[in-house]
Chains A and B, each alone.
Chain A
Amino acid sequence: MTAEKLLRKIFFVEILKGMSLTLRTMFTPAVTRRYPKVKRPVKSGFRGLHALAKNAEGKMKCVGCGLCGAYCPSKCIYIYTSEGEDHTKVVDRYEIEVLRCIYCGFCVEACPFGAITLSEHYEYSDYSRAPFYMTKEKLLSNWDKYFAGPKGERYFRDFWQPHAENFAGREGQATFDTVMLKRKDKE
């Protein structure tokens, strides 16, 4: 052991260095986010609680084709249909067992009509299992709650609207044109 090492050991140089670091850290602002009071903004395209979309007349877009239920990896979507007047298909029940959902978003991708959507809402904890069983009425009211107003409309347009309804890409979306233009700019 050299003299320097011995002196360092006797005077706790390393320990004092560490302690000065912790003391300095004590006077830096904390990084804690006080969650229920300060909410974290969700990332764009966040997949939260489900909602059934309504069209401009306020009617359910869902036609009961059952593709979402067929695609669903956890098989938590139940659809019951019957034959109505003029041989039209009527959706009697549309139910999602939210506790089994894995929020993959496949149902949204499968739907040809943009009828099922995932909202930005994620605070729906409860004390029993019953509130997590979403019926058609609940899912439709979710639409009114979480997709109302310009913010909800934009969110729906940017993330959940099928291209069959609206071919225009969302703002800033990477398309073939923009990518090629950027490459040309670089050249």
Chain B
Amino acid sequence: MSVLEMIVTPGSVDFVMNIGIIFLKIAVVIAAALLHVAYATYWERKVIGHMQVRLGPIEVGPHGLLQPIADGVKLFFKEDIIPANADKPLFYLAPVIFFIAALSSLSVVPFFNDFVIANINIGLLFLFAMSSLGAYGIVLAGWSSNSKYAFLGGLRSASQVISYEIAMGLSLVGVMIMAGSLNLSDIVRAQQQYWFAIPQFLGFCIFVVAAFAETNRLPFDLPEAESELVAGYFTEYSGFRFALFFLGEYTGMIMMSSIATVCFLGGWTVPKFFMDLLPFLSGLPSFVWVAVFLVKVYAFMFLFYWVRATLPRYRYDQLMSIGWKVLIPLALLNIIITASVKVVIRGLV
């Protein structure tokens, strides 16, 4: 038996094939996600522009459609400035942590039936972990920049993310109780009858508010409050490092929209009554349903933009009191109600 035969066994071929498929999936998901991120910025500028009776980007390409590409190219050629007194290793590391944390959450999101890079049992917990890890990037960026604006932004972001993480986690406990699983695909499959947003209405509202705070979006964008902190934690960043923060932030927004879609709005599925109405839909191949998923994600993204165009920024103490005094008690109430209803229905008492 030669060495080659020892290596090339049916088992090892399968192993290599699997790895190849996973890499292919990762490449597809990252490419698609980054394209969506680029056009999320375009769409945001368009929506907010029209809400402010402006046109938004319109000159580059038809209706300004090439604007995100032009912006990306411009960012590549920008000067990369590093402050003289910055803590250089951390300064280099912070945007990478932030961006990787945002991107790696994509690995557990089921885009359509049986299409998920890592089908792990603790998908939801993994998402929480990654969104908290992103806060490290922000804090380190604020610390290493050696600038008061960046430092204040980083501190604010840390306390805000920690406070709202609790509310967000607790708001999703209701979903976990109803689905009986932490696996995101299972959570979607549990919603084939009706969306969890209906019985978990309270949880959904808490999740939406917490998601706004988690992603540092208006009305909770205190970590990067332009009028007081210049640009917050990434004040000192420029060029491609700034682009990493920017991409990470929008990836985070898409992630939050995806979590909302998966946990509350039924993921890639459409409600059962709709399927009964149009029975031919069930014959469609599974990858078509990614369109349903995307429509829901974009509807949720629109809510982000819409709120940004409408609401002013909260005061910092108001932000904290909403988080600790309103959202967390409400989320706990939601858990108690959901759990007791489930116990009564299952007849466990």
Contacts and interface: CB of A to CB of B under 8 A. Distances in A.
B311 A25 contact: no
B49 interface: yes
Interface of A: 15, 18-19, 21-23, 25-28, 30-32, 34
A37 to B, nearest CB: 9
Contact of B51 (A15, A26, A32, A34): A26
Interface of B: 47, 49-55, 58-59, 306-307, 309-311
Nearest to A17: B310
B49 A19 contact: no
A15 B54 contact: no
B23 to A, nearest CB: 42
Given A26-B47, A30-B49, A19 B54 contact: no
Nearest to B49: A30
Contacts of A32: 53-55
Closest 3 CB pairs of A and B: A32-B55, A22-B51, A26-B50
A18 B51 contact: no
Contact of A25 (B52, B55, B58, B59): B52
Given A15-B311, A18-B311, A30 B50 contact: yes
Contacts of B51: 22-23, 25-26
A19 B53 contact: no
Contacts of B58: 34
A22 B306 contact: yes
A28 B51 CA distance: 9
Interface centre among B54, B55, B58, B310 (most CB of A within 10 A): B310
A109 to B, nearest CB: 40
Contacts of B50: 25-27, 30
Contacts of B53: 25, 28, 30-32
B314 to A, nearest CB: 12
Contacts of B306: 19, 22-23
B31 to A, nearest CB: 31
Contacts of A22: 51, 306, 309-310
Contacts, number: 36
A34 B63 CA distance: 13
A184 to B, nearest CB: 46
A23 B23 CA distance: 42
15 contacts: A18-B310, A19-B306, A19-B307, A19-B310, A22-B51, A23-B51, A25-B50, A25-B52, A26-B47, A26-B50, A26-B51, A30-B50, A30-B53, A30-B54, A34-B58
A135 to B, nearest CB: 36
A22 B302 CA distance: 12
Given A22-B306, A30-B55, 16 more contacts: A15-B310, A15-B311, A18-B310, A19-B306, A19-B307, A21-B310, A22-B51, A23-B51, A26-B50, A27-B50, A30-B49, A30-B50, A31-B54, A32-B54, A34-B55, A34-B59
A22 B218 CA distance: 15
Contacts of B52: 25
Contacts of A18: 310-311
A150 B41 CA distance: 49
Contacts of B307: 19
Contacts of A28: 53
A34 B49 CA distance: 14
Contacts of B309: 22
Nearest to B309: A22
B236 to A, nearest CB: 32
Interface centre among B50, B306, B307 (most CB of A within 10 A): B50
Contacts of A27: 50
A21 B51 CA distance: 9
Nearest to A37: B59
Contacts of B47: 26
A25 B50 CA distance: 7
Contacts of B49: 30
B149 to A, nearest CB: 29
Contacts of B310: 15, 18-19, 21-22
A19 B305 CA distance: 11
Contacts of B311: 15, 18
Contacts of A26: 47, 50-51
Nearest to A12: B205
Nearest to A31: B53
Contacts of A34: 55, 58-59
A21 B306 CA distance: 11
Nearest to A36: B59
A34 B55 CA distance: 9
A34 B307 CA distance: 27
A21 B311 CA distance: 11
